[in-house]
Amino acid sequence: MTTLCVAVLAGWLLTGLVRAALGRRPDWLFLLLARLAPALAPHAPPPRPPDLARLSVLRI
């Protein structure tokens, strides 16, 4: 039973610390989403190398 109480108190303490840290800057969510937006955007496929058949001088 004691470990349950310690776990609950530790959870409350951790929640309080996180809220205090994030409460200082009210725009933290906006900043986080602004940083994640480029990472979540789809990336273009890598460029393909030139087609050697088109670049060949000796093609038939």
The string of pLDDT tens digits covering residues 23-48 is: 777 677 788 778 877 777 777 778 88
In a domain, 46, yes or no: no
Distance CA 30, CA 49 (A): 40
pLDDT for position 12: 93
Structural domain boundaries, residue 13: 1-36
Rounded Cα distance, 11 and 17, in Å: 10
Q: Is residue 43 domain-resident?
A: no
Q: Is residue 12 part of a domain?
A: yes
For 16-25, what is each residue's pLDDT tens digit?
Answer: 888 887 777 7
Number of domains in the chain: 1
Q: Is residue 6 part of a domain?
A: yes
- In the DSSP assignment, the letter for residue 47 is P
What whole-number distance in Å separates Cα of residue 52 and Cα of residue 45? 20
What pLDDT was estimated at residue 55? 73
17 lies in a domain?
yes
Contact 15/22 with Cβ under 8 angstroms? no
Cα distance from N-terminal residue to C-terminal residue, the chain = 85
- Does a structural domain hold residue 53? no
**pLDDT bracket for residue 60 (50, 70, 90):** low
Question: What three-state secondary structure class fits 39?
Answer: helix
Say if 20 falls within a structural domain: yes
